[in-house]
Chain A
Amino acid sequence: MALRNMVDKVKPTFEKGGKLESLHSTFDAFETFLFVPDRVTRKGGTHVKDAVDLKRLLIIVVLAMVPALLFGIWNLGQQHSIVFGLDWGFWQKVWYGFVRIIPLYLVSYIVGLGIEFVSAQLKGHEVSEGYLVSGFIIPLIVPVDVPWWMLAIAVAFAVIIGKEVFGGTGMNIWNPALLARAFLFFSYPSKMSGDTVWVGGLNKALAGGTPWKGGEVVDALSGATPLSHASLDGLSAAGTTPWNLFLGDIPGAVGETSVIAILIGALILLATGVASWKIMCSSVLGALLVGWLGNIGGVSDIPCWEMLLMGGFAFGTVFMATDPVTSAQTECGKWIYGFLIGALCITVRLFNPGYPEGMMLAILLMNTFAPLIDHYVVNANVKRRLKRAKTV
């Protein structure tokens, strides 16, 4: 194979003693991306190994997010054209979304992978593929108008403080993608919350006082996500039906609006067994329970099932709560962890009018407590073992 010969030819340059030794990890990352390595099993271990590796598992997660991304790209153009009163066709909308999302991906991957490559080289490790997923999620959960330099800082924060200081992929406590979003949210709240950040170009137009076509339409729509008027009256006043919530043609972060696209992703993850069905299931149960309690308690008039369709709940449950590193590691712990995420998310929504989107904080909080949950689950096993010893 010509490509293989080429790689073999340049390989010595990057090996120990070669001219570009300092780029060894980077070279290795690209080589193993192109070719499953020729390494064989070692002494003292199993002689055969399963075909699955992290690249395979993580590419499935990325694939599962593609429907949400594709829908989000179209929806960017859709929302923009509604607010600005533009009479765009399908491809125009897609092109608009595409042009807006690509820079975010470039920033996310260049900054994030850049840091990963450097730190892998410093530690003398191979580059871990973990950031492929985090980097894919980040543009899907931030406002499309976020300035690129802000995103770059947020990504750097998430990768360095959120991951590398703990020892890199597999050792982190918080989901890196959510950490980037939380960083943006707390550092630059004006770009992250409010009614106007979720439609591409709207904030800028408002700030600049630029007149735009169909300005009156905006009074009714105003670009706010349904969460900011989370009552049945509020929803119907904004003209949002549960069907809109399910389909996702509403303002919001790129990846989170379309429940149907997220469900396709969930099916892929569950069919391949990559994500834990226990976490997804228990998160939905927790959300339904609290939503139902809030409904009969008179806190909110929205039926509990509609809560599942709103905001970042679906995206968070399917793609972020199930992160194997930051979730609970024990099977029993997963039920508790997922349930609390769902319950907390809806609790925040019901009782905190100032900040209606509870999913980010619910997941980050439960990431923090996941080791504690595991500790008690594992301790039960330890106690069982000790008890067994005493009874004999």
Chain B
Amino acid sequence: MSDQIRLKKGLDLPIAGAAFCEVTTRVKPDLVAVRPTDFRGMVPRLLVKEGDSVKAGSPLFADKKCPAMVFCSPVSGVVEAVVRGEKRKLLAVVVKADGKDEAVHFDVSKVSSLDKKGMTGLLLESGLWPCLKQRPYGTVADPEATPKAIFISAMNTAPLGADPEFALKADVDAIQAGVNALGKLTQGGVHLSLGARNFAGSEFHRLTGVVFHQFEGPHPAGNVGVQINHISPINKGEVVWTVDLHLVAVIGRFMQKGVLDMRRIIAVAGPAAVNPSYAEVPAGVSMKQLTKYFGEGDIRIISGDVLSGEAVGPDGFLGFYHNQVSVLKEGHYYEMLGWANPIRGKKFSFSRAYPAFLCCKKKYDMDTNENGGERPFLVNDVYGKVLPMDIYPVQLFKACLAGDLDKMEQLGMYEVIEEDVALCEYVCPSKIEIQNIIRDGINLMMKEL
């Protein structure tokens, strides 16, 4: 039997433009990119140059600290560009697909008899290892580490997020194969969290070899970090691994077929999206191939959700871990005495300072306006209302600002990454960039400890 955990704190953002449950496009691979910046704590060493031919599963770059960890091309084609930024920092390797669908073949006939070492080796070689993320810090998992357990969230509460019950319903068998493979990596078991809303009818009940958990509540209840905090919180010195459910499916398909098949079904949604719905795309797909979903005018295209995704622009690419593209209008406008308007019906507020809380069914055309200027921390009770963890948020943020490593450790820094505090940033009346504070804090801890 599964345990049921009910969370009250949090907020389901009432943003307009949710995706219809229909796959409206199947994008043929053209331009795809693998971006080293998606992987925290990894220093890339380039293995290809422009003009090289690659197959799906050919390594593009490797981690300098762990050369066995390679990052592979998701499609077959030619390396079109190696994009570098300031100080020649490697930003992306862009591959132009040739449509031949050639793939590197791996021997998967004996996967069921592999031990931890063998499985680790296979995942590293195939470029699938980076699917595993490690807590604390949200880095790519360290192959040498012994994780306490592996956690998977089969519940997506992020605003406009892709519903796993729809996007992955055809992949249950693959997920089973993926879970079997992951199970070899840890003694602590593979933990899968399901939402209470459709717990009974969930396709994922068919899975075996996992420990089920049931979560109920608003966002961020679907965040794996929040779930870990309630199932088995991370203590100093402990390591757990997390895998996104859609990447478990990718691992599973690989285990079944022996070739890298990184196609995924993503939600393209948002107030500025045209015909918001689902699309089947290759990993790292160029946003240029999704333009039919984007509205007119000054819009922002985000890989990921609107709270913790990355603005990639119309020429950008889908992030390695993302299965969602959000489209928002930019908020470049002045609003005369907006803060004094008693109703301000077009804007949503979590606080009761606006009457928005009275019309709970309404969805809002949110845009990127900050709705105010940046101020110091003043109101202190609002953050805890959207962070369902046993953590004192303001104290933790201030410890990060002060760079006080002892305090950060004591106050639970090991248990959070940016996405877990994203709602704190959303509701902050002082408009403080809380995710950046946490990001700097994590970087400081990784450097110093």
> A interface vs B, CB < 8 Å?
1, 3-4, 32, 34-57, 59-60, 126, 128-130, 167-171, 271-274, 276, 324-325, 329-331, 374, 378, 381-382, 384-386, 388-389, 392
Task: Identify the closest chain A residue to B377 (Cβ).
Answer: A170
Binding-face segment, B50-58, B161-169, B344-352: B344-352
Inter-chain contact A56/B353, CB cutoff 8 Å: yes
- B20 is an interface residue with CB less than 8 A from chain A: no
- B306 is an interface residue with CB less than 8 A from chain A: yes
How many residues of chain B have a CB within 8 Å of chain A? 75
- B420 is an interface residue with CB less than 8 A from chain A: no
Given contacts A47-B326, A52-B353, A54-B372, contact A381 B392 (CB under 8 A): yes
Contact among A34, A36, A51, A392 for B348, CB-based, below 8 A: A51
- Give the chain B neighbours of A37 by CB distance below 8 A: 334, 370, 372-373
Inter-chain contact B311/A43, CB cutoff 8 Å: yes
- B25 is an interface residue with CB less than 8 A from chain A: no
- Give the chain A neighbours of B390 by CB distance below 8 A: 381, 384-385
How far does the alpha carbon of A340 sit from the alpha carbon of B256 in the complex, in Å?
Answer: 66
How far does the alpha carbon of A28 sit from the alpha carbon of B160 in the complex, in Å?
Answer: 36
How far does the alpha carbon of A48 sit from the alpha carbon of B366 in the complex, in Å?
Answer: 7
Inter-chain contact A382/B410, CB cutoff 8 Å: yes
Q: How many A-B residue pairs have CB under 8 A?
A: 210
- B332 is an interface residue with CB less than 8 A from chain A: yes
- Give the chain A neighbours of B372 by CB distance below 8 A: 36-37, 49, 52-56
- B13 is an interface residue with CB less than 8 A from chain A: yes
CB-CB contacts below 8 Å: B417-431 with A: 422, 425-431
A selection of 22 A-B contacts at a CB cut-off of 8 Å is A35-B336, A36-B337, A36-B339, A41-B370, A47-B368, A48-B307, A48-B366, A49-B431, A50-B429, A51-B344, A51-B356, A54-B379, A59-B340, A60-B353, A126-B373, A170-B378, A324-B380, A331-B381, A381-B390, A381-B391, A385-B233, A392-B238
Task: Identify the closest chain A residue to B236 (Cβ).
Answer: A389
- Give the chain A neighbours of B261 by CB distance below 8 A: none
Task: Identify the closest chain B residue to A60 (Cβ).
Answer: B353
- B405 is an interface residue with CB less than 8 A from chain A: no
How far does the alpha carbon of A59 sit from the alpha carbon of B333 in the complex, in Å?
Answer: 22
- B118 is an interface residue with CB less than 8 A from chain A: no
Given contacts A35-B337, A384-B390, contact A273 B235 (CB under 8 A): no
What's the least CB distance linking A250 to chain B, in Å? Answer: 33
- Give the chain A neighbours of B367 by CB distance below 8 A: 40, 48
* Residue from A34, A51, A272, A382 with most neighbouring chain B CB atoms (10 Å): A51
What's the least CB distance linking A159 to chain B, in Å? Answer: 15
What's the least CB distance linking B92 to chain A, in Å? Answer: 16
Inter-chain contact A126/B339, CB cutoff 8 Å: no
- B107 is an interface residue with CB less than 8 A from chain A: no
- Give the chain B neighbours of A273 by CB distance below 8 A: 351-353
Contact among A46, A170, A392 for B435, CB-based, below 8 A: A46
- Give the chain A neighbours of B373 by CB distance below 8 A: 32, 37, 39, 53, 126
Inter-chain contact A38/B369, CB cutoff 8 Å: yes
